[in-house]
Amino acid sequence: MKYKLLIFFSLIIISCKYKEKSSVETNNIKLEDTLQNSSNSKPNKVYIPFEYDCKCPENKFTSVKADTVFTLKNNRQIALCGYRNNDNTFSEFILSDCDEKTVINFWDALTVCDVRTDNDKLMVKKIIQLPVGKQKAFEPIVWTIEKLYFDEGEIKRSLIINPEFPKYTTQETDLIIKEYETQKLEQNENYIKLAYYLFTAAISGSETAKQYFYEFPQKVKLPDGAYSEEYNDLKNRMQEFENLESAKTKQY
């Protein structure tokens, strides 16, 4: 009788251990199935935070923490470090090659750029204000477009004037030229606006407007100060326009 009871209790213990082991194995299978199903049977991809994935090198312009990391062809990455404006444009920023850990270029605080990827290229579109709206109101337009991409492992850059920027019609240009020729110019806010009108007419294709634009400081006796600096900025932009238009595309 004792022998039979011993066998009975032994069978119960073995049965309990088997159930416990079976339960653990079943739970493990369910957990693996859940992980596999949640990833659609593909290996899990770990997304590393930017501050651990790619930083900008030490520099005198910005912090090293990346605001955005752009992934291009063959998983080559470019980091952007700098100031993000409220409209998601960028100012005072650098672009850095994550593999080489080098600074590609710096854009200053007065520059506003839209930065995004397009077909394995990073597009940096510089935005400026020109009087191209209704009644010559100032509006933001894309001025230049810089493309950055990798070719055989090397970073390549090209720069062009935006071919689709708004231009003045012939009628609008004629009115601006007439205004310049007939108006008595006074040194106030309105006359610096006329410099912008002449600039925009010139880049719209008017050689007469270009001539008047370059003559502008002598005609109005432009004094030193804010207006002179503003005109010089426009003059530099005109020279950039002429250089890029003659080359069509600037390669780096």
List pLDDT tens digits, range 155-176. Answer: 999 999 999 999 999 999 999 9
Higher pLDDT, 104 or 16: 104
Range 218-232 average pLDDT: 86
pLDDT on residue 252: 58
For the chain, give the percent of residues with pLDDT over 70: 75
Residue 232 lies in a domain: yes
Residue 23 lies in a domain: no
Closest CA to 169 of 206, 207, 127: 206
Residues 140 and 217 in one domain: no
Domain termination residue (choose one: 166, 183, 213): 166
Domain termination residue (choose one: 166, 181, 209): 166
Provide the whole-model pTM.
Answer: 0.75
Higher pLDDT, 95 or 38: 95
Domain of residue 203, residue span: 170-250
pLDDT on residue 187: 58
Q: Is the pLDDT of residue 47 over 80?
A: no
- How many domains, the chain? 2
pLDDT on residue 200: 98
Residue 39 lies in a domain: no
Residues 93 and 198 in one domain: no
For the chain, give the percent of residues with pLDDT over 90: 65
Residues 56 and 130 in one domain: yes
Residues 88 and 104 in one domain: yes
Residues 162 and 206 in one domain: no
pLDDT on residue 186: 62
Range 230-242 average pLDDT: 96
pLDDT on residue 92: 97
Residues 56 and 155 in one domain: yes
Q: Is the pLDDT of residue 140 over 60?
A: yes
pLDDT on residue 183: 78
Per-residue exposure over 53-70, b if at least 16 CB sit within 10 Å of its own CB, e if not? ebbbeeeeebeeebbbbb
Residue 14 lies in a domain: no
Domain termination residue (choose one: 109, 132, 166): 166
Confidence of residue 138 (pLDDT cuts 50, 70, 90): very high
